[in-house]
Amino acid sequence: QKEVEQNSGPLSVPEGAIASLNCTYSDRGSQSFFWYRQYSGKSPELIMSIYSNGDKEDGRFTAQLNKASQYVSLLIRDSQPSDSATYLCAGARGSQGNLIFGKGTKLSVKP
């Protein structure tokens, strides 16, 4: 069973702090990873994709991938109350495989 695991939270951080969200995966064949943000009652929205080991930065977001440890993370710098949402991690076997999601981590940013 291919699985993606996330801590369900809630993770609470003060406004302006760094939020760190983590994800582990069991399928060593997974090659591509994605972070989605889902506001309550809305659909998931893609915010980051990462395919290679290391860091990938986009604005206030940094995704990190360590394939040896089967670990993916998302850092949100200068967290804002508008970042409060559930963050979903997903993995896939490159271009051939399906896209498997973790259950998500709920983030709450307190003003």
Q: Is 31 in the site for other proteins (CB under 8 A)?
A: yes
Q: Checking DSSP bridges between strand 105-110 and strand 11-14, what pairing results, if any?
A: parallel
Kindly tell me which of 82 and 95 has the beta carbon lying closer to other proteins. Answer: 95
Q: Which residues pair with 38 in a beta bridge?
A: 86
CA gap 74, 94 in Å, rounded: 20
Using rule CB under 8 A, residue 82 touches other proteins:
no
Token readout for 32 is 């591509």
**Could you say whether residue 71 binds other proteins (CB under 8 A)?**
no
CA angle 5, 77, 6 (to 5 degrees): 5
Q: Which of 3, 15, 45, 58 binds other proteins (CB under 8 A)?
A: 45
Q: Is 39 in the site for other proteins (CB under 8 A)?
A: no
Q: Where do contacts with other proteins occur on this chain (CB under 8 A)? A: 31-32, 34, 36, 42-46, 49, 51, 88, 92, 94-95, 98-104
